[in-house]
A and B are shown apart, each in its own frame.
Chain A
Amino acid sequence: MGLSKVKPVRLGMIGCGAMTEIAHLPAAIRSPIIEVTALVDRDLDRANLLRRMFGCSARTAVRLEDVVETLDGVVIVTPNHTHRMLTELAFEHGISAFVQKPLSTTYADAIAVCELARAKELVLTVGFQGRHFASVKLMKRLIDAGFFGKVEGFHCEYGVRGGYTSVSGYNLSREQAGGGVLVTMGSHYLDRMIYWFGEPRQVRYADDSYGGVEGNCKGQIRFDNGIQGTFFFSKAIALKNKFSIETEHYVVELPAMETEQITLFPRALPGTKMQVGASVDGGNIDYHQVELEDFAHSIRSGSSPVVDGFEGARSVKLSEQLYRCRTQLEESWAWYRNLAMAGRGQ
């Protein structure tokens, strides 16, 4: 019997902010194997607004405890510092959890919830949408199969000017977000690096924070297998938004939001560009729906989700590693910064 023939998995949205509105809630409603049974937000008006806007019959509440009997799983899309507490609360009631990345603000918190999920035999998955992209999975297969030859290095950059305004404003607070652009945007790409290249060994890192959340950061990572590369993430500059990987046989490019295809520039054929794709019906896939259905499927079948807690925790560990060796990013154009520091005797 296909999954769609059985009773849908009942999910509750915890946090009714901008991401829930634009991504997770519509994806869940669209899915034939998911039923949205609860919308929870500390601002009940906000939860009710989403219920009316999407015309769904979910119950609304300010506390998860008030709707636990309606749920098989929760989708936690709240400020990052609340992830551990809300995940543990869900687990206490025997409810599985999908946590929008990052899993938590510290690696210790991440491991704690992973261990709890294991002990209670509940599903814990992390919302790294990119892990479900056909292009990202294809890249992993091609690297592992040695298709490119030796991987010599990589550069990843992702930057946009501005972005959406979070309803809670959590992204302005280091305590609530766990960091700045490295965590809020960069963790997607750190996760891909770990997925493709393995365990990070040595890191270098610099950002532009002066006590707040960084808007620009640059770094260098060397992995266990010797692969080494650089990254640049920005919330203030529109960057090229792609991975470039230098390999023995090709220069490989993967635009950040390209879900289906990888572009190859063969070294043996200068001036030639090739595109390889993994999916036959690519282009119209809602990957938010894919990741939520992966979660629902894991709840139903007991199988492991694509990104389980321990896998999702790896990028939290890497972010911590990077922040630990943080240096101040050089801003050579900011003459006033140097003058002010000289004036203050620094």
Chain B
Amino acid sequence: MNRIAVVGASGFVGSALCERLFFEGINFAPFVRGTGNAARVSRLGIPIRRLDLLDSKAVLDALTGFDVVVNCSLGDKAAVSRGFHNLLLAMERLRTSRLIHLSSASIYGVEPKPDCVSEEGSPDPQSNQYAEMKLRQDESIFRLSQKGVATYILCPGAIVGPYSVFSIGLAEILRSGPMPLVDGGANPSNLVHVDNLVEAILAAARSSSGAGERYFVNETRPVSWRTVLEDHARILGIQLEFVQVTTDEVRPFLSTGPRRAGLRDQGRVLISPEFRRAASKLAPIGWINDLASATFGHLPPRTQNRIRERLQWPISVNGSRPALPLSSRFVTAQVRAYYQSPQKLTTRLGWTPPLSYEAGMETIANWFEFAGMVDSRARRA
């Protein structure tokens, strides 16, 4: 395999990829923005290169001489727009032969349409900002592929495995109390083990065909949420208690992820005591605040109530029994009704996942034990 640049090497997927490349003896270079999160890569004893994607010249210099670039970078708004643009520009100028980019299954929305079962379906981020950003990046990559760079877009769902924030978060929510189970937990989880995703990256790096396409990365068979939750509870040694909920009950919470703030959100911010206290320190805004407050006070009570209801609903109250976290990503994700098969990845790029679902769970169990998240004595028992 030719020389690989891993951009965003200190992230979760980037680190897992670097470990795999290192142990396979493949020639690669890790690029990181900051060193703070680079522990998994810095242990390997290979030079780590600092790269600020916002510096177009630095990107051009850094990527010179590489045949394959794997983009695992994330970051703030500037990094994912201007930095990403610099990365593509450098690839175009350097005529780098191959770009492998990590997109996301979220581009099909939190409640995808039926055509999402195929990569050829129409993406619809449904106002989710992260998904919109990923889709814009995908579109730029398709344009780059028309300029002669072999591009591969990989779309995993949530990524699980050792060191996964999703796996750790799932463990925490399972420990915290009864777990909402949507529609009996029958929907497919669309979770992918990080080692299988890394294998997909390697398949794209090796493949002599299939460029210019988008690929789902998933388990080779649907695994239901019920199975996933029960298996996690088992390896954590937790007595799992489900609370049955329906998609209709969860639907109001589907848009609570990162998304563009609507009028109601802006209204909520404007009437929040925190905003009004801070803004009132600026004389003109303080004056407007006083005026708005006085005007609101003169409205008929019924109108006041309507406005408050419109802006403040729904209000969640923490009672003695913790409220069901229906807005949690671990609940809203259960609404996705369709399995996104990795068949195309297998047939076009020759991907064979190294870990079955069960073997993947075993790695998670081992890692939970290592990280002190599960009592090893209890697990052995």
Which positions in A face B, CB cutoff 8 Å? 157, 161-166, 169, 171-172, 180-181, 208-216, 232, 234-240, 331-337, 339-341, 344
Contact = CB atoms under 8 A, between A and B. Distances in A.
A239 B372 contact: yes
B36 interface: yes
Contacts of A213: 42-43
Contact of B45 (A209, A232, A235, A344): A209
Name which of A208, A332, A341 has the most chain B CB atoms within 10 A of its CB.
A332
Contacts of A236: 39-40, 163
B344 interface: no
20 contacts: A157-B372, A161-B37, A162-B36, A181-B39, A208-B43, A210-B22, A210-B45, A212-B43, A212-B45, A214-B43, A215-B43, A235-B39, A237-B371, A238-B168, A333-B162, A333-B363, A333-B370, A336-B20, A336-B195, A337-B23
Interface string B1-41: 00000000000000000011011110000000011111111
Interface string B346-376: 0000000011000100111011001110000
B35 A169 contact: yes
Given A210-B22, A240-B372, 11 more contacts: A162-B37, A163-B36, A165-B36, A169-B35, A172-B48, A234-B39, A238-B168, A333-B370, A335-B195, A335-B359, A340-B23
A83 B25 CA distance: 36
A333 B364 contact: yes
Contacts of A333: 161-162, 362-364, 366-367, 370
Name which of A163, A234, A236 has the most chain B CB atoms within 10 A of its CB.
A236
A344 B24 CA distance: 9
Contacts of A162: 36-37, 39
A336 B19 contact: yes
A165 B162 CA distance: 23
B42 A335 contact: no
Contacts of A334: 19, 23, 162
Contacts, number: 95
B50 interface: yes
A308 B125 CA distance: 60
A172 B42 contact: yes
Contacts of B24: 336, 340
- A-side interface mostly: loop
A210 B23 CA distance: 10
Interface string B192-228: 0001000000000000000000000000000000000
B44 interface: yes
Nearest to A240: B372
A211 to B, nearest CB: 3
* 3 nearest CB pairs, A to B: A211-B45, A215-B39, A165-B34
Given A162-B36, A211-B44, A332 B366 contact: yes
B46 interface: yes
Contact of B372 (A161, A164, A165, A232): A232
Nearest to A209: B43
B329 to A, nearest CB: 18
B42 A163 contact: no
A334 B35 CA distance: 23
Given A157-B372, A331-B370, A237 B20 contact: no
A215 B45 CA distance: 11
Nearest to A213: B42
Nearest to B368: A333
A215 B40 contact: yes
A335 B22 CA distance: 13
A210 B44 contact: yes
